[in-house]
Structure 1
Amino acid sequence: MFDVVVVGGGPAGATAAEDLARSGHSVALLDRDGRIKPCGGAIPPRLIADFHVPDHLLVARIRTARMVSPTGRRVDIPIEDGFVGMVDREEFDSFLRSRAEAAGAIRKTGTFIRIVREDGPIVIYRDRATGEQCSLRARIVIGADGARSRVAAEEVPGGDATPYVIAYHEIIAAPEGGGYDPDRCDVVYDGRISPDFYGWVFPHGGRASVGMGSMQRGFDLKQATADLRAAHGLDRCQTIRREGAPIPLKPMDRWDNGRDVVLAGDAAGVVAPSSGEGIYYAMVGGRVAASAASACLASGRASDLGLARRLFMREHKTVFRVLASMQNAYYRSDDRRERFVSLCHDVDVQRLTFEAYMNKRLVRARPMAHLKIGFKNLAHLSGLVSAVRT
């Protein structure tokens, strides 16, 4: 009998397992292993500090972000007084799982099948090595098994109805020379690359992640990525691997079943709208799920599992609402995307955007700047300001 079984060994699940093990709880971490999630790999300085990420996991430090409009106009935004870290998910996720194991979590490798109950939840899974069905008894289960989570679909109301973007990327050997900059990430807002999200070129040291995402069913993600590579002179680079997966677009209204299951990370829908950033929020989600599980184990009150969502939303709800509003306003057409890139020329927008990104909270230190941005935003959306800058 474990205190907690964590289903899923990505950043959310590994963080939850490590926190619980360090708190003295008996924990099993069930993961399929071998799967690498498609991800640009960007992490902010706050994540590096809060979760003690060692320098050797950073494959690049980004100093400039380039926004590319549908007409090919480029806006370079310097990242002042900091950087955006880049990690390769293959190495990063493996490190987090190993760290959880070192803290005392018991690793199990296999595929989740279902939860049954007999004096508490029992996680049924298929062991990867033997192919046999095995079971793990627990007092609480944390579902951290990603977007379209099977734990969420089975156990939590609304868990089978979270909207998502399908993301696809290719890890390639980074080119030498040309227009490629190993210290710059490119974000491409172009309906030909993605009709409702964006494309990206993110350096990973000797490699790069090139990809895009879309909610449109039937949209050819592989062809769009090929077009993106060609447009950036990356079509001749060696392709190391290809990956695709869903990314949720909205936090679920409920993260627990009111009994013995709580969700974390993508399973709970905590990916930032507009940017699609998920690693930081997954790890925060894992931490608050661990806190909620620990509280429930101590009190015996199933209602304490609701702490996970309340703790997360207390700090991040406003940021998520602002980013969702921005996505709804600017991602709907190429004209709107052109205006968004035009807005990115503004120095106040640039500074506040990256201060908020690196610190993971809205910056309130300059109220006049916020007011100016509000007026500029309305002017761009209404067409009072031309999207084309000379």
Structure 2
Amino acid sequence: MTEIPSFDVVVVGGGPAGATAADVLARRGRSVLLLDRAGRIKPCGGAIPPRLIRDFAIAPHLLCARITAARILAPSGRAVAMPTGRGYVGMVDRGVFDAWLRERAADAGALRQSGEFLRITREAAGETHVYFRPRLSEGGAGATVAVRARVVIGADGARSRVAQQNIPGAAENPAVFAYHEIVRAPRGDWVDYDGARCDVHYDGEISPDFYGWVFPHGETVSIGTGSAQKGFPLRHALGMLRSRVGLAGMETLRGEGAPIPLRPLKRWDNGRDVVLAGDAAGVVAPASGEGIYYAMVSGALAAEAADECCERRDGRVLAQARRRFMRAHGAVFFILGVMQNYWYRNDRRRERFVRLCGDDDIRQLTWDAYMEKRLVYAKPFAHARIFCKNLVHLAGLAGA
């Protein structure tokens, strides 16, 4: 009988969450198999804040643009400028960025395998077996392969097979479906395009419950939209957005679509041998749709929990990944969820929301919180002013 290869941890999914988990575990001396479906790139604006660049030692050459301002656009066409004031937001191309993260994990000692995850079984001897179908170098798929694992980290996206097979309720987690296209960036003196500015469009024609974006990537641009409304014509809406911003005639290099979860799952682990991270765990920020930073944080926390599980041989410690994440970021997710549920409901509210974004206090605290990924409590008087302004807008007392 052929001996089944054994690993401390099998990580399913090689995006930012999975690649980070594999890297952390390999550097801790664990044997790691990183299983990834080759060729898949998630639709993503590609923004990464300074804290991510610092905490995860991101190489400067991966930044294809440095953003120093955002422009928020209302359904009426009103535009509000939101300069960062200091510092910048890095922009990455997910195809390049994710590949670099996987290579870094491999350099740390993780074994990379391209293939499709199939299932997990628990054998009579108490062993956990992970089955997958490897992708052959010449194309196509090989015969099913099994490996042993002490812990499995599911980082295989919003429709995670690992989660659906092992975590109750995972299949019901709501999601926005996003679609974007990578197009050639305008050259020369272009009237309405700035390679150091992100544009965010709040307009029911572009998205009835989310937003559209135009994010510079240096030589290219990510332009996209998303909606949780079934049947909403995303490609048509994106075509409208491209025409509106003057990018309809620019060359399209590729297009990608995928679901983006709307909230963290109530449970990330099965108490035995599986823990989730990234989109599989639902860690995409409401309202903004930001996911790269939270994916990498959750990947690192899942890795720490898996390492401790291997050390203590106690699957109950896997629950620490979610507890630690929500302790650090749960309040931000709650506030952003309330914002999205209220302000994104119709165009009248979107108009008021864009007007609110023009407030200096809100702009300053928004960027402070985004850059460092925490609620900013150091300016109590500014918070008091923002609270009063929000009450006025929520009550509809501010004119459009």
Letter in 2 for 1:292: A
Q: SS at 1:160's partner residue? A: helix
2:134 matches 1:127: yes
Letter in 2 for 1:383: G
Letter in 2 for 1:30: L
User: What residue in structure 2 maps to residue 289 of structure 1?
Assistant: 302
Residue of structure 2 aligned with 1:265, choices 255, 278, 285 = 278
Q: SS at 2:377's partner residue? A: coil
Distance 1:345 1:283 in 2: 31
- How far does residue 131 in structure 1 lie from its aligned partner after superposition? 2.3
Letter in 2 for 1:142: I
Segment drifting more, 91-100 vs 76-85: 76-85
Structure 2's unaligned 5+ residue stretches are 1-5
Q: How does 1:10-49 map to 2 (within 5 A)?
A: 10-49=15-54
Distance 1:279 1:317 in 2: 16
User: What residue in structure 2 maps to residue 315 of structure 1?
Assistant: 328
Letter in 2 for 1:191: G
Distance 1:134 1:220 in 2: 40
User: What residue in structure 2 maps to residue 247 of structure 1?
Assistant: 260
Structure 1's unaligned 5+ residue stretches are none
2:279 matches 1:274: no
Please give the TM-score of this superposition, normalised by the length of structure 2: 0.96
Q: How does 1:1-390 map to 2 (within 5 A)?
A: 1-118=6-123, 119-129=126-136, 130-176=141-187, 177-387=190-400
The one-character-per-residue Cα deviations of 1:343-382 (angstroms, maximum 9, x if unpaired) are 0110000000010000000000111111111111111121
Q: SS at 1:203's partner residue? A: strand
The one-character-per-residue Cα deviations of 1:111-159 (angstroms, maximum 9, x if unpaired) are 0111112232211111111421111210000000010111000001111
Q: SS at 2:240's partner residue? A: helix
Distance 1:121 1:13 in 2: 19
The one-character-per-residue Cα deviations of 1:14-57 (angstroms, maximum 9, x if unpaired) are 00000000000000000011111100000000000000001100
Letter in 2 for 1:149: S
User: What residue in structure 1 maps to residue 3 of structure 2?
Assistant: none
Say what the alpha-carbon RMSD is for the aligned residues. 0.7
Percent of aligned pairs with the same residue? 62
Letter in 2 for 1:182: G
Please give the TM-score of this superposition, normalised by the length of structure 1: 0.98
Q: SS at 2:119's partner residue? A: strand
Segment drifting more, 175-184 vs 44-53: 175-184
Distance 1:4 1:345 in 2: 48
Distance 1:379 1:218 in 2: 35
Distance 1:45 1:290 in 2: 23
Q: SS at 1:13's partner residue? A: helix
Distance 1:349 1:205 in 2: 28
- How far does residue 80 in structure 1 lie from its aligned partner after superposition? 1.4
